[in-house]
């Protein structure tokens, strides 16, 4: 039986800005999910038997904050009313931060929303790619939102998309976060997805550049403790590298329905959330049905699902057989295999070389330099200055 761990909901495909690397195909559409569609989704999800004791909801795949606060207050109350007792529901927003104001801060604080803000570093780097429709930089508005979150003491993390230019200047990036009091950072590398072809990937050598960047950024963080308290890529790599040998690796991206995504119209997809809006010559699209017309629990019988699952699992099996990083990766990201290799039934991508292989190498190299403690166990957190315990996992998107 599937187990839903994460629901990605697109409240609207619309975005108020136009980043150069955005892969969302409908970002000019001002469509909004209907309240009935949300009721249909949650009533079916809650009745499915596919949940355990908690589920995370990420409002994303467009700019969620272009809708009014009242929309989310209504949605959250409906979810509270219909959820089974004992189920913990957490909400996250991934936002470009340009619309954060006092009313949003009130809402985030009252509802305990996890907030992720996309900012690509200092103004000169951020404004290269994160632009308004008229081509102006969005840094000033985004940083104003971040400063307001800080003033209101609302916890947040940032996701920064790294370009060739930002990977070349780890100390400038570090100084920016430190000066702005940004303590929790996640890095995505500009990647090829949908119609977007990444310049970083096209240039080659991106994995070596990423390794150098992350290594220096981690060194600076360790040298100045208290400034950056969480680097997602290091934390995740540490968690995987030092977990017990027999502990299974849970790769949500290849588990059917572990991540369940719904677009504004009620269309459902699974595996990589980016598949929701993609079209492809081989599969057509990656939709499993529509929550307004189809039964969620019957979607595993859909032909599209059976085909995708078979191919994704074949790709995972190839990874298991061929890749020495499988135990810390679990077979990667289906959407990147499709975008870069043209097939789910494949293994290595530039994306996995960067995000899995080089991040793992970095942590392994660091651990090799750590002397064992008197108990004989390696204690990575002490000399490296980073806590090794599990933390929340911010959304990957940026
Ligand atoms: S690192 Fe790449 S090749 Fe290795 S298991 Fe992960 S996706 Fe497969």
Q: Give the model confidence (pLDDT) of 252-277 as tens digits.
A: 999 999 999 999 999 999 999 999 98
- Per the prediction, the chain carries an average pLDDT of 89
Q: Is the pLDDT score of 317 beyond 50? A: yes
pLDDT at site 198: 58
Distance from residue 398's CA to the centre of ligand 1 (Å): 22
How big, in percent rounded to 5, are the helix, strand and coil portions of the chain?
A: 45, 15, 40
Distance from residue 120's CA to the centre of ligand 1 (Å): 26
User: Distance between CA 111 and CA 245 in Å, rounded?
Assistant: 38
CA distances from 168 to 132, 171, 360 (A): 25, 9, 20
Q: Which residue has the higher pLDDT, 368 or 363?
A: 363
Highest mean pLDDT of the ranges 14-28, 118-132, 243-257: 118-132
Question: What's the mean pLDDT in 283-312?
Answer: 96
Nearest ligand 1 atom, CA 337: 7
Report residue 120's pLDDT band, with 50, 70 and 90 as the boundaries: very high
Which residues, judged by CB distance below 6 Å to any ligand atom, belong to the binding site of ligand 1?
Answer: 319, 323, 325-326, 329, 331-332, 347-348, 352, 356-357
The best mutation among 319, 328, 333 to test binding of ligand 1, ranked by most ligand atoms within 8 Å of the C-beta, falls on 319
Question: What's the mean pLDDT in 349-370?
Answer: 91
Percent of the chain predicted with pLDDT > 90: 75
User: Distance between CA 74 and CA 80 in Å, rounded?
Assistant: 10
359-368 vs 206-223: helix crossing angle, rounded to 10: 50
Report residue 390's pLDDT band, with 50, 70 and 90 as the boundaries: very low
pLDDT at site 386: 38
Q: Is the pLDDT score of 392 beyond 70? A: no
Q: Is the pLDDT score of 54 beyond 90? A: yes
Nearest ligand 1 atom, CA 333: 7
Q: Is the pLDDT score of 380 beyond 80? A: no
Q: How many CB atoms lie within 10 A of CB 298?
A: 10
CA distances from 349 to 95, 200, 212, 234, 235 (A): 27, 13, 19, 20, 22
Nearest ligand 1 atom, CA 352: 2
Measure the N-to-C terminal CA separation of the chain; round to a whole number of Å: 31
Distance from residue 249's CA to the centre of ligand 1 (Å): 13
pLDDT at site 195: 53
pLDDT at site 248: 76
Distance from residue 325's CA to the centre of ligand 1 (Å): 6
Question: What's the mean pLDDT in 348-356?
Answer: 92
Q: In this predicted model, what pLDDT tens digit does every residue of 24-37 receive, in sequence order?
A: 777 878 999 999 99
The best mutation among 329, 340, 359 to test binding of ligand 1, ranked by most ligand atoms within 8 Å of the C-beta, falls on 329
Distance from residue 187's CA to the centre of ligand 1 (Å): 19
Nearest ligand 1 atom, CA 357: 1
Q: In this predicted model, what pLDDT tens digit does every residue of 214-265 receive, in sequence order?
A: 999 999 999 999 999 999 999 999 998 888 777 777 899 999 999 999 999 9
∠ CA(45), CA(50), CA(54), 5° rounding? 85
Instruction: Give the alpha-carbon dihedral of 376, 381, 387, 390, to 10 degrees.
Output: -40
pLDDT at site 203: 62
Nearest ligand 1 atom, CA 325: 4
Distance from residue 106's CA to the centre of ligand 1 (Å): 42
Distance from residue 365's CA to the centre of ligand 1 (Å): 19
Distance from residue 347's CA to the centre of ligand 1 (Å): 6
Contact between residue 237 and residue 231 where contact means Cβ atoms under 8 Å apart: no
């Amino acid at each position: 039986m599937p187990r839903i761990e994460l629901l990605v909901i697109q409240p609207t495909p619309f975005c108020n800005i136009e980043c150069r690397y955005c892969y969302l195909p409908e970002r000019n559409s001002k469509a909004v999910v209907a309240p009935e569609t949300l009721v249909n989704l949650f009533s079916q999800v809650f009745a499915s038997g596919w949940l355990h004791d908690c589920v995370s909801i990420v409002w994303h795949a467009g700019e969620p904050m272009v809708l009014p606060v009242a929309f989310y207050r209504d949605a959250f109350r409906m979810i509270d009313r219909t959820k089974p007792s004992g189920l913990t529901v957490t909400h996250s927003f991934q936002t470009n931060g340009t619309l954060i104001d006092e009313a949003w801060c009130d809402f985030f604080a009252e509802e305990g929303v996890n907030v992720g803000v996309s900012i690509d570093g200092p103004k000169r780097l951020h404004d290269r790619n994160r632009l308004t429709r008229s081509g102006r930089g969005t840094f000033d508005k985004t940083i104003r939102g971040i400063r307001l979150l800080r003033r209101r003491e609302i916890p947040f993390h940032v996701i920064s998309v790294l370009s060739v230019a930002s990977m070349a200047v780890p100390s400038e990036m570090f100084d920016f976060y430190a000066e702005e009091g940004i303590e929790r950072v996640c890095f995505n590398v500009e990647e090829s997805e949908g119609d977007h072809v990444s310049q970083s990937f096209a240039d080659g050598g991106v994995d070596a550049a990423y390794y150098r960047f992350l290594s220096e950024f981690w060194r600076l963080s360790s040298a100045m403790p208290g400034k950056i308290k969480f680097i997602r890529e290091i934390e995740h790599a540490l968690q995987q590298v030092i977990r017990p040998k027999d502990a299974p690796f849970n790769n949500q991206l290849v588990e059917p329905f572990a991540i369940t995504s719904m677009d504004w119209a009620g269309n459902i997809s699974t595996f990589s959330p980016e598949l929701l809006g993609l079209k492809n010559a081989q599969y057509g699209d990656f939709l499993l049905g529509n929550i307004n017309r189809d039964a969620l629990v019957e979607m595993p019988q859909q032909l599209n699902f059976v085909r995708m699952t078979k191919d994704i699992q074949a790709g995972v099996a190839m990874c298991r057989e061929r890749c020495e990083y499988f135990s810390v990766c679990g077979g990667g990201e289906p959407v990147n295999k499709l975008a870069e290799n043209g097939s789910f039934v494949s293994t290595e991508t530039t994306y996995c070389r960067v995000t899995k292989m080089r991040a793992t190498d970095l942590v392994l190299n660091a651990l090799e330099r750590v002397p064992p403690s008197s108990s004989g166990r390696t204690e990575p957190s002490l000399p490296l200055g980073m806590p090794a315990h599990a933390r929340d996992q911010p959304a990957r998107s940026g």
